[in-house]
Amino acid sequence: MSNVQHSLLLSARLLALIIIPIFLPQTAAQSALPVTDGYDSLTLAPMLEKTTPAVVNLSTEESQAAFHNSLLDDPFFRRFLDIPDQLRERKGQSVGSGVVVDASHGYVITNCHVIDGADTINVTLRDGRKLDAKVIGSDRESDVAVIQIPSTNLTALNLADSDKMRVGDFVVAIGNPFGLGQTVTSGIVSALGRSGLGIQGYEDFIQTDASINPGNSGGALVNLHGELVGINTAIIAPGGGNVGIGFAIPANMVSHIMNQIITYGTVHRGHLGVSVQDLTPNLARAFNISAEHGAVIAAVSPRSAAASAGIKEGDVVLSVNNRSIRDGSNLRNAIGLLEVGESVRLDILRGSNTLIINTKVDEYASNVSVDGALIHKRLSGATLEDINPNSLLPGQAGVLVTSVKSGSPAANGGLYRNDVIMGINRKAISNISEFKKIAADSDRIMLKLLRGQDELLLLLH
């Protein structure tokens, strides 16, 4: 046999070794692989035929105040131009997606931002049926909402154990991008445990390169078994469209939030009473510890669950209920997703000693929300809160804008949700009480804001 023939034969054998496993008949261990249809081509169609009926399209409407023009608001010109005197409103519409997770009760999971502020929610099923939905409850911190539709001939998705997902697993995104109607895209899990993105309060995202675009929010991310592994919620889109970086809320987080919303109508979030920060190499050296990952306890609130359990400043939390903790955000998620009164085991590194601390989480006491109109007429439509020491803004003084209603004076003035008001009329403020005192004597107000990483001035007049 010549060298050329030998090389060709060896190449053929290697090629056979590479190709044959891909086309092996389906077995229990290989059930996640695409199957072959009658034309001997790989396809996900059989899985999708069972899955897509559970993914629905959402359209919402909310009343928004029309744009006001000082000339058109003048009674003389309104009569001259025959403009009606009644309040002028326009209907705002948005389009998103949802997933049926309980066919017998008609429960549908979607994103909070999809249905937030909606007066009506209309659901379109895969078979063309259009149904009215009612809101069961929502949680802005996790961006999860539960709505309900009539439970007649519905298909629901089973939730997978998202903790078993691995980078490289194949996934399929199903939703309603750009309002085109139900669309399916595929890709892989690009990363796990993404947090610190500032998208929402509790972040533990699955990152995927399956195409996710505006309108996919609230839609399904499924594995090749057709199980729900996540709810699509956000993208990084510098140009306004998909660039291969999308994020989904893991199914385990969704399940926990959903169960509380259905039971209580809201989420009773757990609370230890600590301020935390990431364990950095510099802190590890300063504490003379060998751990590479964890959350450092920066402060312990008096009379809190943490204080009662003996947790101390400088402790490093390594795991919660036997789940490893990567950083401060990871610890915040782990505790915040526990129910009030639930037992929790903390593995802690204190100096060179490893401790196990068992305690129960307290109820998270959220700050009282204040209507911006009670502070100043220019802030009407905004909801404000003092910054909680256990928020994602530890040490930041000021007032947090938690919501802004579309078309309101606050929105028209340029105020956004998650803005931090640090000062008013060149005077620094630390809380709502200080804000209210200064604003009361002002006709127009100039706000100093922290928006993301940027500081800016906003004049409301």
CATH of the domain at 116: 2.40.10.10
CB proximity list for 431: less than 8 A, separation 6 or greater: 386, 397, 399
Q: Which residues pair with 133 in a beta bridge?
A: 121
The answer as to whether 235 is a domain residue is yes
37 is annotated as an active-site residue? no
**In this structure, are 353 and 379 located in the same domain?**
no
Looking at this protein, which amino acid is placed at residue 171?
V
Q: Residues 94, 142, 190, 217: which is the catalytic one? A: 217
Q: Which of 338, 363, 388 is the last residue of a domain?
A: 363
Is residue 5 a part of any domain in this protein? no
Residues 171 and 259 in one domain: yes
Catalytic pick among 116, 139, 143, 419? 143
Place of tokens 């005077």: 427
Q: Does residue 255 belong to any structural domain of this protein?
A: yes
**Is the same domain home to 138 and 87?**
yes
The domain boundary, picked from 201, 236, 264, lies at 264
From the candidates 59, 94, 97, 113, give the one annotated as an active-site residue: 113
Number of structural domains the chain divides into: 4
Q: Is 217 a catalytic residue?
A: yes
105 assigned to active site: no
Kindly report whether the global pTM for this prediction surpasses the value 0.75: no
- Predicted local distance difference test score (pLDDT) of residue 95: 81
The answer to the question of residue 2 being in a domain is no
Query: What is the model's pLDDT at position 442?
Result: 76
Tokens of 417: 């949700």
In three-state secondary structure terms, 439 is helix
Q: State the Cα–Cα distance between residues 94 and 114, nearest whole angstrom.
A: 7
Q: Do residues 355 and 275 share a domain?
A: yes
Give the structural domain span for 447. 370-460
One domain for residues 260 and 274? no
* Tens of each residue's pLDDT in the chain, 461 residues: 444 344 433 343 333 333 222 222 333 333 445 665 555 568 889 999 999 999 999 988 876 555 455 555 556 555 555 655 554 455 556 688 999 999 999 999 999 889 887 888 999 999 889 999 999 998 888 889 999 999 889 999 999 999 899 999 999 999 988 878 888 999 999 999 887 665 666 778 899 999 888 888 899 999 999 999 999 998 876 666 667 788 999 999 999 899 989 988 888 777 788 878 888 888 777 777 777 788 888 878 777 888 888 998 888 999 998 888 888 878 888 887 787 888 899 999 888 888 999 988 876 655 567 888 888 888 988 988 887 654 555 556 788 888 888 888 888 888 988 888 988 988 888 888 888 888 877 777 889 998 877 788 888 87
